[in-house]
Homo-oligomer: A and B are copies of this chain.
């Protein structure tokens, strides 16, 4: 049994991680921590765990944690995470970090978009980007995995085959995405107050969303050439899911069937990526670790649609997938 500590367990990704590991045959949650004001019995913080999990969420205490766990899912916010990850690694834990702190290799970009100095460049260098479909071999060897952002997961899985196969222009990719509101986290705000968000839809983060440089970095790595992405997120009135609609300019001529075959071949053997023959729907992937993709041609452009659950394949599910890989378990455990 892999013993898992969840650091920052009082948010939605913390709860989703608990939920997944409760169903995992070879892992168990052994430790939960959060800010003091968010501590208490896990079922008092999240009533859905009444009768299912008897643990306490407690203030983080490295002495208590020592020797108790094999892996840490670190669900702390951006900027906070890099203050704790070094000590988690020092305890000998394998760390899967949900924040952006170990995703952007270029600290100048990080510091521009996150407006804070990076304080852990040593571990940043060693961190592996946790998108198993592209970096599985490195993840196997990693002590620290930077779990991808939710938007980059959906967008990269959609665009990667085209980039890798050099089928599209790399300077004009548009990613138009709509997310459910669990992506905004558990803190109440005016925008996401029910009577404001219900029956609503709007764009946000125009030209400034922090997932844009993350997408570009990984896309560039996959393409082997500089990739520029116009990423435009929107928020919609539902809990879970991201639908990405990706518009690309093809370089040459490829037919519709070829495109579908290209994607099916590219992701052959990938358990969590499914190529569809029609537009994917977020509800079909909600609550699962799957990504549904449909690539097609429209008016001379290639348009690729992808759907994921932002809390699962976009966060906690992918983290458990990464954990399974690191510990040599069957990759789909707890996630099928």
User: B201 contacts A241, CB within 8 Å?
Assistant: yes
Is A184 interfacial (CB 8 A cutoff)?
yes
Is A280 interfacial (CB 8 A cutoff)?
yes
Q: Which chain B residues border A192 with CB–CB below 8 Å?
A: 188, 193-195
Q: How big is the A interface, by class?
A: 35 or more
Is A230 interfacial (CB 8 A cutoff)?
yes
Q: Which chain B residues border A25 with CB–CB below 8 Å?
A: 25
Shortest beta-carbon distance from A217 to chain B in Å? 15
0/1 string, A166-184, CB within 8 A of B gives 1: 0000000010101011101
| Alpha-carbon distance between A318 and B301 when the two chains are bound, in angstroms | 33
0/1 string, A186-224, CB within 8 A of B gives 1: 111110111111111111101100000000000000000
Is A51 interfacial (CB 8 A cutoff)?
yes
Is A287 interfacial (CB 8 A cutoff)?
yes
5 nearest CB pairs, A to B: A200-B283, A202-B281, A188-B188, A207-B298, A203-B279
Q: Which residues of A contact B (CB under 8 A)?
A: 12, 22-23, 25, 47-48, 50-52, 174, 176, 178, 180-182, 184, 186-190, 192-204, 206-207, 228-230, 232, 234, 236-241, 243, 245, 247, 271-272, 274, 276, 279-288, 290, 292, 296-301, 303, 305, 307, 336
Q: Can you pick out 14 interface pairs between chain A and chain B where the beta carbons lie within 8 Å of each other?
A: A12-B195, A47-B281, A50-B290, A51-B274, A51-B290, A52-B290, A180-B199, A188-B189, A188-B190, A194-B194, A199-B239, A202-B307, A206-B279, A228-B299
